[in-house]
Amino acid sequence: MTLFEKIISRELQADILKEERDWIAFRDIHPQAPTHILIVPKKPIARLEQAKEADQQLLGALLLAAVQIAREENLEHGFRIVINNGTEGGETIPHLHVHLLGGRQLVWPPG
């Protein structure tokens, strides 16, 4: 069971901001920006490359949730959405999730 599955099942505590039927959003415990929120599907998909065509609606819901939460967090000057895939892509937990980052000027390139 992944760390995120334990948060979803409430075995582990998290600073949960919002929850819907298919996803949960909470603050990252190691923030990389003043606002760093994770939006995690409740369906366990290890990484983006393993998502199926049937997951299309769920993937869209994650992105729309990120936009909604960005508004609620007053990130009107901009934000970044990141999805890591694989170890070289920065993935540390094998459960698909969206990072919502903002609250400061973000640089490019990110890596």
Which of the pair, 63 or 109, is modelled with greater confidence?
A: 63
Confidence class for position 110, pLDDT limits 50, 70, 90: confident
In a domain, 110, yes or no: no
Residue 14 placed within a domain: yes
Number of domains within the chain = 1
Annotation marks residue 97 as catalytic: yes
Mapping DSSP to helix (H, G, I), strand (E, B) and coil, where does residue 26 land?
strand
> Among 36, 95, 97, 99, which one carries the catalytic annotation?
97
Any domain includes 59: yes
The CATH number for 49's domain is 3.30.428.10
pLDDT band at 21 (very low <50, low <70, confident <90, very high): very high
Going from the C-alpha of 103 to that of each of 68, 76, 84, 85, 110, the distances in angstroms are: 15, 9, 20, 24, 16
Are 101 and 30 within 8 A, CB to CB?
Answer: no
